[in-house]
Amino acid sequence: MKIISWNARGLGNASAIRHLKLLNEQQQRPQVLFLIETKLALAHVLRLRNLLNFHNGFEVPRIGLAGGLILLWSDTVEPTILSSSQHHIDCFLRNDDNFRFHFTRFYGEPETHYRHLTWDLLDRLKSVSIQDPWLVMGDFNEILSHEDKSGGSLRSEHSMTAFRNVIDLCCLRPLDYTGVKFTWEKKSPGIKNIKERLDWAMINQHWLPCSKSIELEHLDFYNSDHRALLVSIYDNMDAQVSYVKRRCSRFRFKALWLEEKESYEIIKNAWKDIGSESAMTMVLKNISACSESLTKWSQNKFGCLKTEVYKAQKRVQKLNKEDDTSTEHYSILLQQETILDELLHREEIYWKQRSRVSWIQSGDANTKFFHSKANKRRKANKIKKIQDKYGILVNKDEDIENVIVDYFQNIFTSVGENNEALEQVLHTIDPSITDVMNSKLIRPFIANDVWDAIQSMGPDRSPGQDGISAMFYQQNWSTIGPMVTRAVLDILNNNGDISGQNKAAMYYHDILTLQNAN
């Protein structure tokens, strides 16, 4: 079981959400996620559940513009919420192997003169279940000794003593950790820099005899001033993570390319309007050339986004671990954080395009959520087997294709029609199309019809076999429009030959026919 606690210092902006998603994804989706200082109003828990792909959630809304706690958990754990306040969420937590323990998510009072009230709260929570293993985790806003602080003025001895006393009273001890010691940092250069260990995970003595191992790791800041804490609870026999080889996907024009001016130049250079072949043949060759050029450029420009995000996060993490408080260090850190945020933004756009969930705004969208939606759509669209006209199930791709083609050929074919009876029926039907309407329907198509049809299409709806969607045409019409228009009008007005061609030609024909009917 993985449990993460993180003081996010506000989740009301797109950048904070992107880093929260990165934290969730890099830790392979923990079973429990506790967020402190969300600064979110009531009813935001459903939004975060969807963003991070959790099935359950509980929230304590902010007061004014400060505070706010959110607890998210998966279906593999079962919490029983006992109490909550602006400073805690207390529950019994049971995992999928029926192991139960007392779990308290804690947020110490930021104001020193009120902090004793949260110590009193912690003392009361001790008596909830004195015989169960107890894990207390969160931002305590206090240190145990001067060794837990670097820089700035000395901490009040009275405050530290009060903290140590309540820890002793509750029979708690801090977990040993891996990673950097200090969990909070005021990222100012030189003597203004301050680091403290304010975030803790503590357990009582009842963890010792139980069969579970428990470990604590101090993670990165993820664009906050607090590091995230990861507690792992496991058996020694836990299975290792297995890795699945990912399949290669075909070419598809990507929405994020349109944010780069270079993409327009690449299309302009690859698109050649010369040659003696038919307009449709030239269109298809140009699309192939553009696809090849864009693929090479994209590999050099973006590389593998997942890999780039991973490398960028590692660079930021490495800088955050360095004991360097110079102005140059923080300048480099800011630069690398900006690069990471831009990569996360690009990844978000990519998965939004893949999922085609257009009703969620960019920046308020979850990469993991979009990844799930895209995978579900691919599974839903996959035809694994089909029944032919004789009632026999076939599962090979070639056989499935033949059954589908045969079916549609038969339903659009008439056999043994009676023309005389058909004429009699038609004479009894009053025409609904006037001569004026008919003249409009049978008039030759013009260039504006082609452009109107292209504009009416969803930018990223159902690309053709070549992987080109409508946004490719819409955004590059000044370059490709004249040739595409000639190709389409030749098919529609002159019965241009499309035999042996890519199905893109038939695609244009169907779009224009539908547009004209409307």
Tokens representing residue 450 in the block: 């082609």
- Cα 393–Cα 397–Cα 401 angle in degrees, nearest 5: 80
pTM of the model as a whole = 0.59
Q: Which helix (H) or strand (E) holds 134?
A: strand 134-139
Query: Average pLDDT, stretch 152-163?
Result: 93
Instruction: Look at 180-184, 347-351, 360-364, 365-369 and tell me which has the smallest mean pLDDT.
Output: 360-364
List, edge to edge, every strand of the sheet that includes 32-36. 56-60, 69-73, 32-36, 2-7, 229-234, 213-218, 177-178
The answer to whether residue 505 scores a pLDDT higher than 70 is no
**What residues pair up with 235 in beta bridges, in sequence order?**
none
What pLDDT score does 236 carry? 55
DSSP state of 211: S
Give the whole-angstrom CA distance, residue 180 versus residue 459.
47
**What is the tens place of the pLDDT at every residue in 398-421?**
889 889 988 888 777 776 778 888
pLDDT at 113 exceeding the cut of 50 = yes
CA 107 – CA 399 distance, rounded (Å):
62
Q: How far apart are CA 472 and CA 470, in angstroms?
A: 5
CB 333 within 8 A of CB 187: yes
Q: What pLDDT, on the 0 to 100 scale, is given for residue 97?
A: 82
- pLDDT given at position 389: 84
Listed residue (25, 24, 26, 29) closest to 6, CA to CA: 24
Looking at per-residue confidence, does 427 or 23 come out higher? Answer: 23
Region of poorest pLDDT, from 48-62, 182-196, 302-316: 302-316
pLDDT in tens, 438-459: 888 888 999 999 999 999 888 8
- Give the distance, in angstroms, between the CA of residue 322 and the centroid of all CA atoms in the same chain: 30
At 225-284, the pLDDT tens digits run 999 999 999 885 553 443 334 444 567 888 878 888 899 999 999 998 877 788 888 888
What are the tokens at 36?
């402190």
Percent of the chain with pLDDT over 70: 86
b/e map 481-518, b = 16+ CB within 10 Å = bebbbbbbbbbbeeebebeebbebbebbeebbeebbee
Cα–Cα dist 347/26, whole Å: 14
Given a cut of 90, whether residue 203 has pLDDT beyond it is yes
